Amino acid sequence: MKCKDVDGFEKLSGQLQGIYEEISVLSKKSPNDAINKFKLNFINQLLNSSNEFLEDKYRPFKEFSEFDTDDVPQNSDVVFILSQYLQCFEKLRADNVQIRPGGWYWVVDAEENEIGDELGKIYIKTTRPKRLRK
């Protein structure tokens, strides 16, 4: 990973978390209601960006890329899919952070214009991962 990947991760995972929380509230009230197309378009954009970012290694389902806008999903379907994406983002995060003196850090490769340690690594402070590697 590079520094720009950490920024991309934080943006995408934050957006996913926000949409997940909003749709979860709707799903608890009316799990079988269809999601409106306005929201679905934004969800699909976010899923497509997430698929590109996660690549095959971390994508939750290789055969799923986005919801069909002609067959509008139910709230509970969207919550299910978003929760899987959030878990995969957390797996990617757990695989790329480590505990060091002072807390948890992303470990990223320094690029040409960046100064890293003797191994060419840069450490970006973060929080403890929700899920640790096994």
- Write down the pLDDT at residue 131: 64
Residue-wise pLDDT for 101-132, tens only, equals 999 999 999 988 888 888 899 999 998 888 65
The SS3 call for residue 100 is strand
The number of residues making up the chain comes to 134
Q: Cβ neighbours of residue 54 under 8 Å, at least 6 residues apart?
A: 85, 88, 89, 92
Q: Taking the CA atoms of the chain, what radius of gyration do you get in angstroms? A: 17
- Tell me, what's the pLDDT at 119? 86
Q: What is the pTM of this model?
A: 0.90
Q: What is the pLDDT of residues 27-57, one digit of tens each?
A: 999 989 999 999 999 999 999 999 999 999 9
